[in-house]
């Protein structure tokens, strides 16, 4: 594939052309960083949700689901710290009037330095092949060490500045690093300011400040305030988890990366309640489990990496990101956080209600500690889509674009086609369609030449195409075509259901 920027453009236009993602309110020129999922996107998104839900709730006896409201009592957000601290440091370039997140500018600068090292390593591998000792090179090469020292220094300065709420120091760091605006090329920056990311609105008909409420910026708080309800009514014993999929809203400062950073998005979160002191064990456990989940999608491992946070959020004592190599580079896909008892304690204090759990095993009451796994549904969608997007040269000098999606996530599982619109083939194909549609999302397609129909299905990632032809009418067999190999196999119609069941089963992926 061509360079990364091109890839993102290709994925955006493919998403639009085949009904995966549209810009919101496009006829009015769109709304910045808000997107709609089209006919294919809605299916893919739903399949990702179902797969996550199955893995978290279905596969774990001690995890149950929840569906909390987007609106919550405003004190929730005071207690959680979001009113006071859910902000990003923003900085404007005075020449382009472009707004940036100061932390992102610094992170991107660090990433550039890191890539220099990766380039040096790649050069060494290319030059010396198997004789190249990568580990030793990384530990001793002067360039590598110098770059690492630079990175450590920048990270340390940034952390100190943020810990001390010293926004002038953040600006000074940006200036010292010589970071320039990508649009104007200038280093003419405003001061750094904090900008709260929560959207507010009013509830009820009286417009005074007491009625201001927020659109939730994370789904987690809905879980925290319900944790005792669920624990008591579900007779849950610690350790146990509550999982939720739902919308969250953030007035993001920089929102230019398609569905990677949206102002309205969906999270798939699980809060796991544990005995105090056991949180690190469970933190490691969920880190490993979540990596396993991502790997079960069959995407090449090179797309993933871990990133431990240097600047912890106000609620965490350990935090790590699973990063994905998106079309615009490695970025956060999922966060795993050890949130301590911060949230529950805060809610106890602000509500005046006890949120303790009586642990029968140790005969003690306590406020549980929480380990959270939080993955963006839209980012997972983008990760899966961008890893699946493949341009292939075919033997006859033509090309095809194929989405090599995990078969069990594909929007359409099977397309059923009559070779021609004559001789009873459409009727036969319809019969198969009407039988399979109970189990699978199917498409019936009789328009255009078979090659063109196959291309259409490849482009939306349909793993199987069934063709009804002349022979079908004679011996009740069809051909079933595999999306990835493009091979066609002739099988009896009554075998089709069994074949699909085996190939689309999520059992293998989940176990
Ligand atoms: P970032 O640093 O990229 O802003 P974050 O650390 O603020 O993300 P969390 O608060 O940990 O994100 O949220 C958990 C997950 O929700 C993220 O890993 C991401 O997948 C998703 N997410 C967060 N913000 C957005 C957004 N604006 N658009 C889409 N997904 C998002």
> How many Å apart are CA 501 and CA 354, to the nearest integer?
49
> How many Å apart are CA 85 and CA 316, to the nearest integer?
13
Give yes or no for residue 308 having a pLDDT over 90: no
| Domain housing 168 | 87-196
Least confident of 297-311, 320-334, 395-409: 297-311
Among the three residues 128, 162, 196, which one is the final residue of a domain in this structure? 196
Please indicate whether residue 400 or residue 207 has the higher confidence score (pLDDT): 400
Among the three residues 353, 385, 417, which one is the final residue of a domain in this structure? 385
Distance from the alpha carbon of residue 3 to the mean position of ligand 1, in angstroms: 25
Ligand 1, atom 2: nearest CA belongs to which residue? 332
The CA-CA-CA angle for residues 243, 245, 250, to 5°, reads 120
Please check whether residue 456 lies inside any domain of the structure.
yes
CATH number (domain holding residue 318): 3.30.930.10
Please check whether residue 203 lies inside any domain of the structure.
no
Angle between helices 167-176 and 142-163 (to 10 degrees): 160
Please check whether residue 81 lies inside any domain of the structure.
no
Please indicate whether residue 508 or residue 1 has the higher confidence score (pLDDT): 508
Return the closest-CA partner of residue 214 out of 318, 74, 319, 113. Answer: 74
Domain check: are 404 and 287 in the same one? no
> How many Å apart are CA 339 and CA 369, to the nearest integer?
7
Which atom of ligand 1 lies closest to the CA of 217?
A: 10
Where are the extended beta strands (E) located within 24-125?
35-37, 63-66, 87-92, 99-101
Distance from the alpha carbon of residue 379 to the mean position of ligand 1, in angstroms: 8
Longest CA span, the chain: 81
Give yes or no for residue 37 having a pLDDT over 70: yes
Domain check: are 315 and 419 in the same one? no
Across 266-293, average pLDDT: 96
Ligand 1, atom 25: nearest CA belongs to which residue? 261
Which residues line the pocket of ligand 1, CB cutoff 6 A? 218, 250, 252, 261-262, 265, 267, 332-335, 374-376, 378-379
Distance from the alpha carbon of residue 283 to the mean position of ligand 1, in angstroms: 19
Domain check: are 340 and 422 in the same one? no
CATH number (domain holding residue 441): 3.40.50.800
Please check whether residue 503 lies inside any domain of the structure.
yes
Residue 14 burial (CB count, 10 A): 18
Torsion angle of the four alpha carbons 294, 298, 303, 304, in this order, in degrees rounded to the nearest 10: 30
Mutation test of ligand 1: which of 35, 328, 332 has the most ligand atoms closer than 8 Å to its C-beta? Answer: 332
Specify the pTM: 0.87
Return the closest-CA partner of residue 283 out of 336, 342, 340. Answer: 336
Which atom of ligand 1 lies closest to the CA of 255?
A: 27
- Assess contact for 197 and 86: CB atoms under 8 A: yes
Please check whether residue 80 lies inside any domain of the structure.
no
Residue 452's Cβ-count burial label (10 Å; 0-12, 13-18, 19+) is exposed
pLDDT, residue 460, reads 98
Distance from the alpha carbon of residue 67 to the mean position of ligand 1, in angstroms: 20
pLDDT, residue 324, reads 96
Helix extents (H) in 389-463: 425-436, 450-460
What's the start-to-end Cα distance of the chain, in Å?
33
pLDDT, residue 508, reads 86
Mutation test of ligand 1: which of 245, 246, 264, 267 has the most ligand atoms closer than 8 Å to its C-beta? Answer: 267
Domain check: are 48 and 98 in the same one? no
Domain check: are 263 and 191 in the same one? no
Domain check: are 447 and 491 in the same one? yes
Could you tell me how far CA 120 lies from the centroid of its own chain? Answer: 31
Please indicate whether residue 233 or residue 207 has the higher confidence score (pLDDT): 233
Please check whether residue 379 lies inside any domain of the structure.
yes
Give yes or no for residue 365 having a pLDDT over 50: yes
Where are the extended beta strands (E) located within 147-204?
193-196, 200-202
Which atom of ligand 1 lies closest to the CA of 331?
A: 3
Give yes or no for residue 3 having a pLDDT over 80: no
Residue 345 CB-half CA count within 13 A: 11
Among the three residues 148, 164, 196, which one is the final residue of a domain in this structure? 196
Give yes or no for residue 2 having a pLDDT over 70: no
Give yes or no for residue 80 having a pLDDT over 80: yes
Domain check: are 226 and 283 in the same one? yes
Distance from the alpha carbon of residue 256 to the mean position of ligand 1, in angstroms: 14
pLDDT, residue 286, reads 97
> How many Å apart are CA 168 and CA 160, to the nearest integer?
12
Domain check: are 436 and 477 in the same one? yes
Residue 212 CB-half CA count within 13 A: 9
506: enclosing H helix or E strand: none
pLDDT, residue 207, reads 57
Domain check: are 112 and 30 in the same one? no
Q: What percent of the chain has pLDDT over 70?
A: 97
Please check whether residue 271 lies inside any domain of the structure.
yes
Domain count, the chain: 3
Return the closest-CA partner of residue 85 out of 307, 346, 351, 338. Answer: 346
Please check whether residue 423 lies inside any domain of the structure.
yes
Please indicate whether residue 315 or residue 261 has the higher confidence score (pLDDT): 261
Q: For the chain, give me the number of helices (H) and strands (E)?
A: 17, 23
Mutation test of ligand 1: which of 52, 265, 381 has the most ligand atoms closer than 8 Å to its C-beta? Answer: 265
Mutation test of ligand 1: which of 376, 377, 378, 383 has the most ligand atoms closer than 8 Å to its C-beta? Answer: 376
> How many Å apart are CA 342 and CA 327, to the nearest integer?
36
Across 95-109, average pLDDT: 93
Q: What is the mean pLDDT of the chain?
A: 94
Across 230-248, average pLDDT: 97
Strands 240-249 and 264-274: antiparallel
Domain check: are 381 and 407 in the same one? no
Phi and psi of 393, rounded to 5°?
-85, 135
Ligand 1, atom 26: nearest CA belongs to which residue? 261
Strands 488-492 and 477-482: antiparallel
Residue 333 burial (CB count, 10 A): 22
Across 228-243, average pLDDT: 97
Ligand 1, atom 1: nearest CA belongs to which residue? 332
Mutation test of ligand 1: which of 328, 335, 378 has the most ligand atoms closer than 8 Å to its C-beta? Answer: 335
pLDDT, residue 390, reads 95
Domain check: are 365 and 466 in the same one? no
Please indicate whether residue 374 or residue 206 has the higher confidence score (pLDDT): 374
Q: What percent of the chain has pLDDT over 90?
A: 86
Sign for the pseudo-dihedral over CA of 62, 409, 36, 34: positive
Across 103-130, average pLDDT: 92
Across 359-369, average pLDDT: 96
Which atom of ligand 1 lies closest to the CA of 267?
A: 16
DSSP reduced 3-state for 328: coil
Across 248-261, average pLDDT: 90
Residue 136's Cβ-count burial label (10 Å; 0-12, 13-18, 19+) is exposed
Ligand 1, atom 16: nearest CA belongs to which residue? 376
Distance from the alpha carbon of residue 376 to the mean position of ligand 1, in angstroms: 6
pLDDT, residue 169, reads 96
List, for residues 460-477, the tens digit of each pLDDT value.
999 999 999 999 999 999
CATH number (domain holding residue 169): 3.30.40.230
Angle between helices 493-504 and 425-436 (to 10 degrees): 40
Work out the pLDDT band at 1, boundaries 50, 70, 90.
very low
> How many Å apart are CA 182 and CA 93, to the nearest integer?
10
pLDDT, residue 306, reads 85
What does 350-394 look like in DSSP terms, one character per residue? HH-----EEETTTTEEEPPEEEEEEEEHHHHHHHHHHHHEEEEE-
Domain check: are 245 and 378 in the same one? yes
């Amino acid at each position: 594939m061509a360079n990364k920027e091109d890839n993102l453009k290709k994925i955006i236009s493919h998403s639009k052309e085949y009904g995966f993602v549209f810009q919101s309110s496009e006829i009015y020129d769109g709304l910045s960083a808000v997107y709609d999922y089209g006919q294919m996107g809605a299916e893919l998104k739903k399949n990702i949700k179902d797969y996550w839900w199955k893995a978290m709730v279905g596969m774990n006896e001690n995890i149950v689901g929840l569906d909390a409201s987007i609106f919550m009592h405003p004190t929730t957000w005071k207690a959680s710290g979001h009113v006071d601290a859910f902000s990003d440091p923003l900085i404007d370039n005075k020449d382009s009037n472009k707004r940036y997140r100061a932390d992102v500018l610094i992170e991107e600068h660090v990433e550039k330095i890191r890539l220099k090292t990766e380039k040096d390593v790649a050069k060494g591998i290319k030059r010396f092949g198997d004789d190249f000792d990568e580990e030793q090179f990384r530990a001793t090469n002067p360039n590598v060490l110098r770059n690492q020292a630079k990175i450590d220094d920048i990270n340390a300065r940034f952390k100190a500045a943020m810990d001390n709420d010293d926004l002038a120091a953040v600006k000074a760091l940006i200036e010292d690093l010589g970071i320039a605006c990508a649009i104007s090329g200038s280093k003419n920056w405003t001061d750094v300011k904090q900008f709260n990311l929560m959207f507010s609105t009013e509830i009820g008909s009286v417009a005074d400040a007491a009625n201001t409420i927020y659109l939730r910026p994370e789904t987690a708080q809905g879980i925290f305030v319900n944790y005792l309800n669920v624990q008591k009514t579900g007779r849950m014993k610690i350790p146990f988890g509550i999982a939720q999929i739902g919308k969250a809203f953030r007035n993001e400062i920089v929102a230019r990366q398609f569905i990677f950073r949206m102002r309205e998005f969906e999270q798939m979160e699980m809060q796991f309640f544990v005995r105090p002191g056991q949180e690190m064990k469970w933190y490691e456990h969920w880190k490993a489990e979540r990596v396993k989940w991502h790997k079960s999608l069959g995407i090449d491992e090179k797309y993933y990496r871990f990133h431990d946070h240097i600047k912890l959020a106000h609620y965490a004592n350990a935090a790590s990101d699973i990063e994905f190599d998106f079309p615009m580079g490695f970025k956060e896909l999922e966060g795993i956080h050890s949130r301590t008892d911060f949230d529950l304690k805060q809610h106890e204090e602000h509500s005046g209600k006890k949120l303790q759990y009586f642990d029968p095993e140790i005969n003690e009451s306590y406020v549980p500690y929480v380990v959270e796994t939080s993955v963006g549904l839209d980012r997972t969608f983008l990760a899966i889509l961008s890893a699946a997007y493949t341009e292939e040269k075919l033997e006859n000098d033509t090309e095809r674009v194929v989405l090599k999606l995990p078969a069990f996530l594909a929007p359409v599982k099977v397309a059923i086609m009559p070779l021609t619109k004559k001789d009873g083939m459409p009727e036969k194909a319809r019969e198969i369609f009407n039988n399979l549609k109970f189990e699978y999302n199917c498409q019936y397609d009789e328009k255009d030449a078979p090659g063109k129909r196959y291309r259409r299905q490849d482009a939306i990632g349909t793993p199987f195409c069934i063709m009804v032809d002349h022979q079908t009418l004679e011996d009740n067999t069809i051909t079933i075509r595999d999306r990835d190999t493009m091979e066609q196999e002739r099988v009896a119609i009554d075998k089709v259901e069994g074949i699909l069941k085996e190939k689309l089963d999520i059992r293998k992926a989940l176990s």
